[in-house]
Amino acid sequence: MSSQVVKRLSANDVGDTGGHQAGILVPLDPEILAFFPKLNTAEKNPRCLITVREGASNERWDFAFIYYNNKKFGGTRNEYRLTRMTKFLRAVNAKEGDELRFWHDEQRNYRVELRRTEKLRVAEDVPEFGSAVLVLSGGWKVIKY
């Protein structure tokens, strides 16, 4: 079974709130985390680069997937994030409400596509026969097909 993970972008994700955040928050949900590379959680703040290709242009982007786990080491944070995305989000002119769709092949070659809010229709969000959508908090969902 293949899957995609989808993130509906918030104003904070695209920098419209003026706040500073270290990338897009990834939920502590096993189905979402299984999509991304496995990180060594015994290490403080483990991270890896994810090379992705943009769907339409095939342009290469390097994102970072990080587990900020300093709570295990006397700190306060326990969260996963996708970082190093600002240039990409600006290049594709991402707006609040747009969706980022991530998928990969069997070799974990990652792809990303921005889908504009105005292009989204109810019919596109309805799963086709043989697929299922699991909607998660924070604008994330998993689509299995």
- The tens digit of pLDDT for each residue in 101-116 reads 999 988 889 999 999 9
Fill in the amino acid letter for 87: K
pLDDT of residue 140: 83
pLDDT of residue 122: 45
111, 116, 103, 119: which is closest to 14 by C-alpha? 116
For 8-23, what is the mean pLDDT? 80
Task: Write the pLDDT tens digit of every residue in 39-78.
Answer: 999 999 999 999 999 988 999 999 999 999 999 999 999 9
Q: What CA–CA distance (Å, rounded) separates 56 from 22? A: 26
Q: Work out the percent of the chain whose per-residue pLDDT is above 70.
A: 80
Q: What CA–CA distance (Å, rounded) separates 135 from 52? A: 23
CATH of residue 38's domain is 2.40.330.10
The answer to whether 131 and 141 are in contact (CB under 8 A) is: no
Residue 84 has pLDDT above 60, yes or no: yes
Q: What CA–CA distance (Å, rounded) separates 112 from 53? A: 6
Mean pLDDT value across the chain: 84
The band of 25, judged by pLDDT with boundaries at 50, 70 and 90, is very high
Q: Residue 7's CB: how many other CB atoms inside 10 A? A: 23
pLDDT of residue 128: 54
Total number of domains in the chain: 1
The pTM of the full predicted model, rounded to 2 decimals, is 0.80
- Residues 6 or more apart whose CB falls under 8 angstroms from that of 137 comprise 27
What's the domain range around 23?
3-144
21, 140, 18, 7: which is closest to 84 by C-alpha? 21
Q: What CA–CA distance (Å, rounded) separates 3 from 144? A: 4
Which H or E run includes 127?
Answer: none
Q: What CA–CA distance (Å, rounded) separates 7 from 136? A: 9
